[in-house]
Amino acid sequence: MNKAELVAAVQKSLGDEATKSCAEKAVEAVIEGIKTGIKKDKAVQLMGFGTFSIVKRAARLGINPQTREKIKIKASKAVKFKAGSGLKAIV
């Protein structure tokens, strides 16, 4: 499912009075809320769905696949998603 399909599903879920633009704004608001929550609180927990959190990746050595040369990969941060029990039950 891509973003356009998600917007269509939200519009259908909201009913006949909801427009495509209204559904798109709702999806954007949820995405922005998650981004803001991760940036501010370092984690966003949605009960029954899952938790978005920030994890730190340590610096490490890697290999350039084209030249087989060893390279240093810098430490970085990444977003991690851990599925909740409600989501796991569906899958």
Per-residue pLDDT tens over the stretch 53-83: 999 999 999 999 999 999 999 999 999 999 9
Q: Answer whether 27's CB lies under 8 Å from 35's CB.
A: no
Q: Average the pLDDT over 22-38 and give the result.
A: 94
Under 8 Å between Cβ of 34 and 53: no
Domains of the chain: 3-90 (4.10.520.10)
- The reported pTM is 0.76
Q: How far apart are CA 46 and CA 37, in angstroms?
A: 11
Mean pLDDT within 29-55: 93
